[in-house]
Chain A
Amino acid sequence: MAKEYDVVVIGAGNAGLMAALNLQRAGKSTLIVEQHNLPGGCASSYVRGRFEIDPSLHELAGVGSMENPGSIRKMFRELDLPIKWVDVNDCFRVIGKFSDGSPMDVTIPSGRAEMIDAMEKYVPGTRKKMEKLFRLFDEVSEGLEFFSRTDKYDLKYAIKHFGNMLVVGAHSSKIVFKAMRLPQRCIDILSTYWSYLGVDLGHLSFLHYAMMVRSYLDEGAHIPTFTSHELSVALEDKFRELGGDIWFNCRADSIIFEGDKVVGVKTPYGDIACKYVMANVNDDIVYGKMVPKEHVTSRIRRLSNARKHKYSARMFTVHLGLDVTREELGINDYSIFMVGTADSEKEYSNMMKGFESNEFAILVCYNVVNPKASPEGTCLCSITTFGSPVDWNGLKPEDYAEYKTRCAEKLMSIVKERAGIDLFGHVEEIAIATPWTFARYLGTPEGCVYGHATSDWDDIISRTLQMNKDYPIKGVRPIGAGGPRGDGYSSAYQCGEMMAQIAIKELDGEAAV
């Protein structure tokens, strides 16, 4: 007879690993079942020749410095996981066109004062307005922390202390930037990070965007020295060390109920008994496949169908192991955003039309900040764009290799034309990741990596406020990129931790009864 667990975590993605580790640490016997043979989901790596390639991570927010640790560094520290963080230093360089069509080549350093100085240089006369914007960011941050601590908040207190946040809270980034009377060029520069959340500024909650920009500027961005597999393997091994069980190549297909109570999970090893299931799986799969139909409420179905655009933008990345150094290629910036236009709404709509009209690319060269990223005399780069599922829906398997190669060629040409960096002729290893790749390894709907696209009515604040309504089935908690915290590594870790705390409370509450 197999062991009985308090909790089974389905999926060893970032949220799943973090949740499982927190549960096991709190004394809840926990089993992770993972369909792939590796931990981490997107947070992983693979080896091609003499290169080790990170499939997804550009920059991790919320790490902060040794002296001034951010929430993520604290989280890993508290779990006693020594990660060798690398500081990314600069925020970004963006090459392309301002909304008005004039050429744009802007480099933004990390650090608030440095950023404000740089902005003043590029768009003179913005210093005061930028300072004001940062004060608003701070208020938003304090306000959100206040809201995250309380279920029922005191509105009077909130109005007194976070009045500005309440004023901007329901609005998109675009509306708030305009209301702050920022010059368009300043907005254009500030827009650069929009793609990291996969939604244009017109539909991106200001609170969400403010939190991200603030974190990248104040705390800087970081990567682990040895790819994001370093993070995942640290979590995997710590979980084992604390007595947790983790089974790979082991896809759980359904959750077993007795009456309305969760009693186990079906796995290829047989039924595994447990009291609680955390699924690091998109909730459409959890409620559409794993939970028996009779437990799925009308609201759950309606929520899924209300998400018209359903899943966030699909990723396309070319990973290149190059047989020359970054200096020889003339790469001086860690990440260069090449945009067709800084007008995020126009850009987003171009992307959604398909690859032909997509002019957006991010070049990352890991060696700029991490000399250990690849062997001596070489460098490791990736070029990423986001796109619509339309290109990938109707493609035939026999046309796939040629199509992805053509897309990769286009991105390399964009890099050559816009940034003057010629990567052709130096390719020692190439790996191209498309939505099919993510669908293959992660099994996410349509190969999405960002979960459900956020939208004006479905932003992370509203999701967080309605968490219990969204996930009404007791003992089943979907976690991960589709969850209330939205996408991104740090959001997923935070989501996993937060949901584990809830699960622990619920399990203890049950035991008390």
Chain B
Amino acid sequence: MKGEKLKKLKVRISNFKFKDMLQFKNMPLRRDRAIEQAEDRDIVTSFPINNNAKLLHPETQRMVVHKIIERPEAGARTLILRTADGSPAAWFRAGQYVSLKLKIGESCVTRPYSISSSPKLTKEGKVCITVKRTIGGFVSDHLIYNVKEGDRMLISGPEGFFYHDRLRDSRNVVAVAGGSGITPFLSMAYAIRDTIEDFNLTILFGSRTEDSILFRNELDMIQNETDKVKVIHVLSDEDRAGYEHGFITADLIKQYAPEGDYSLFICGPEGLYRFMEEETRKLGLPARRVRREITGAPKNVECLPGYPSEAAGRTFDVKIIQGPHTYDIKASSSESVLCSIERAGIMAPSKCRSGECGWCRSKLLSGSVFIPEQNESRRHMDRETDHIHPCISFPLSDLVLEVPRGDFQL
């Protein structure tokens, strides 16, 4: 069979078969010659593309607290962070967040905060975040009561997908903001004013009272400078002339939404997302027209449907394996595994703390955890193979968990 094949198949390139064969035989020689003719200088290992990618997506940015603006009316403060070396901060898309990496006491914790400033300020090395005090908030207390101007702080590069994308979102955006949920929209409004972004933004902004409105002056100013941004204040605890009163309902959204196609962007506290679920349904928008900012882990996980009640109120032994190290720690059923890791002073990576970014992806070697359905966004195969996101995983038993390396070195 093979002989028959060979007889029929006679491939010719040049006139002399052996010339081609010789050429084949001499391929290594040809290669040697090409290499010998090249210059003997150092191998290039720095490339513009890689350097640019690092500028846009730095692993960490070393910042100092440049200035603090107190906002007592809203129980909040704005931290103006500036790069420690004065270089530009990473450019971001208005609406993105940075993850703060903090050492508080013995703990190494992260927290995501939406950037509230214009992307333009990154040129001056500046990035602003606004922190609202929450009752019993371990990190917000620290940021509000302990942090002072001149302190150094480590933050991530810009993260998240809560920004306007013209191939995805409508040119008209209706934003629903609750309390400090205004921050990403303030950044978007600045970006529109600074002609960095180009879309129409109608913000329905829920506050308790007129006096407690966050960024009142800033929002007024932007509205005067561009007609692409409109802000409607909705007061829940006060009925005043010139303001909407009550909650941000489907009817209210319809009243202010532009004719035809629009995208609905939602950002606020846990309660707002729950309330908006039903209101969004009433609006009948397609899924691609509704975007929610990350929500964080739910507060009272033990009350969620599907939570096995026998695990509630318990403390478990957790073995953490991290590179060559192992740690034995305690973990409470009411806290995410990530919180327990941080409490124990172990440096572990995380960013969104909502299950979305997957930065904390870890291998569960034994034991079981509860993962709230609303936060489940693991890869399919990770779900099948016990890879978990500790930021939204709650222990139901003793655990052995392998976590990636974290870095909190200032």
- Do the two chains belong together in a single complex? yes
**Chain A residues in contact with chain B, CB under 8 A?**
2-3, 37-38, 45-50, 52, 132, 135-136, 138-139, 155, 159, 161, 163-164, 166-171, 175-176, 179-180, 226-227, 229-230, 233-234, 237, 240, 247-250, 267-270, 272, 284-285, 287-289, 296, 298-306, 314, 323, 389, 392-395, 397-398, 400-401, 405, 408-409, 412, 424, 426-430, 435-437, 439-440, 443, 445-447, 457-459, 461-462, 465-466
Residue from B34, B41, B381 having most chain A Cβ neighbours under 10 A: B381
Is B20 an interface residue when CB atoms closer than 8 A count as contact?
A: yes
| Contact, CB under 8 Å: B11 / A180 | yes
Task: Write 20 A-B pairs (CB below 8 A) sorted by A numbering.
Answer: A38-B358, A135-B5, A163-B17, A168-B11, A170-B20, A179-B11, A233-B385, A269-B324, A272-B324, A302-B35, A305-B39, A323-B286, A393-B52, A409-B167, A439-B52, A445-B50, A446-B48, A447-B49, A457-B34, A459-B27
What B residues does A437 contact at CB under 8 A?
Answer: 53
Question: How many Å lie between the Cα of A226 and that of B2 in the bound state?
Answer: 42
What A residues does B27 contact at CB under 8 A?
Answer: 169-170, 457, 459, 461-462, 465
| Contact, CB under 8 Å: B23 / A462 | no
| Contact, CB under 8 Å: B5 / A446 | no
| Contact, CB under 8 Å: B380 / A227 | yes
Quick one: given A170-B24, A301-B43, A397-B56, are A163 and B90 in contact (CB under 8 Å)? no
- Among candidates A132, A429, A459, residue contacting B9 with C-beta atoms closer than 8 Å: A132
Question: How many Å lie between the Cα of A257 and that of B8 in the bound state?
Answer: 56
Is B93 an interface residue when CB atoms closer than 8 A count as contact?
A: yes
Least distance between A379 CB and chain B CB atoms (Å): 13
Question: How many Å lie between the Cα of A50 and that of B290 in the bound state?
Answer: 13
Is B323 an interface residue when CB atoms closer than 8 A count as contact?
A: yes
Quick one: given A171-B13, A250-B323, A306-B34, are A397 and B44 in contact (CB under 8 Å)? no
Is B382 an interface residue when CB atoms closer than 8 A count as contact?
A: yes
Is B161 an interface residue when CB atoms closer than 8 A count as contact?
A: yes
**Chain B residues in contact with chain A, CB under 8 A?**
2, 5-6, 8-13, 17, 20-21, 23-28, 30-45, 47-50, 52-57, 90-91, 93, 119, 161, 165-168, 196, 286-288, 323-325, 349, 356, 358-359, 361, 363, 377-382, 385, 387, 404-407
What A residues does B21 contact at CB under 8 A?
Answer: 159, 163, 166-167, 169
| Contact, CB under 8 Å: A389 / B49 | yes
What B residues does A394 contact at CB under 8 A?
Answer: 48
Closest to A138 in B: B5
What B residues does A393 contact at CB under 8 A?
Answer: 48-49, 52
What B residues does A426 contact at CB under 8 A?
Answer: 288
| Contact, CB under 8 Å: A284 / B166 | no
| Contact, CB under 8 Å: B165 / A3 | no
What B residues does A401 contact at CB under 8 A?
Answer: 93
Question: How many Å lie between the Cα of A180 and that of B13 in the bound state?
Answer: 8
Least distance between B385 CB and chain A CB atoms (Å): 6
What B residues does A395 contact at CB under 8 A?
Answer: 52
What A residues does B41 contact at CB under 8 A?
Answer: 301, 305
| Contact, CB under 8 Å: A229 / B381 | yes
Question: How many Å lie between the Cα of A58 and that of B147 in the bound state?
Answer: 50
| Contact, CB under 8 Å: A429 / B168 | yes
| Contact, CB under 8 Å: A428 / B287 | yes
| Contact, CB under 8 Å: A249 / B405 | yes
| Contact, CB under 8 Å: B405 / A268 | yes
What A residues does B349 contact at CB under 8 A?
Answer: 37, 249
Closest to A408 in B: B167
Least distance between A334 CB and chain B CB atoms (Å): 20
| Contact, CB under 8 Å: A439 / B380 | no
Question: How many Å lie between the Cα of A193 and that of B44 in the bound state?
Answer: 31
Quick one: given A306-B37, A457-B30, are A167 and B358 in contact (CB under 8 Å)? no
Closest to A171 in B: B13
Question: How many Å lie between the Cα of A240 and that of B377 in the bound state?
Answer: 24
Starting from the known contacts A439-B52, A446-B47, 18 additional A-B residue pairs (CB-CB under 8 Å) come to A2-B324, A52-B379, A167-B20, A170-B27, A176-B13, A227-B381, A233-B381, A268-B405, A301-B41, A303-B35, A306-B37, A323-B286, A394-B48, A400-B91, A401-B93, A436-B52, A440-B54, A447-B53
What B residues does A458 contact at CB under 8 A?
Answer: 31, 34
| Contact, CB under 8 Å: B53 / A436 | yes
Least distance between B14 CB and chain A CB atoms (Å): 9
Q: Which 5 A-B pairs have the closest CB atoms?
A: A288-B43, A306-B38, A428-B288, A169-B24, A248-B404
What A residues does B57 contact at CB under 8 A?
Answer: 436, 440
Least distance between A10 CB and chain B CB atoms (Å): 14
Least distance between B85 CB and chain A CB atoms (Å): 17
Question: How many Å lie between the Cα of A247 and that of B404 in the bound state?
Answer: 7
Least distance between B129 CB and chain A CB atoms (Å): 20
Closest to B163 in A: A401
Closest to A424 in B: B167
Question: How many Å lie between the Cα of A458 and that of B93 in the bound state?
Answer: 42
Least distance between B320 CB and chain A CB atoms (Å): 14
What A residues does B26 contact at CB under 8 A?
Answer: 170
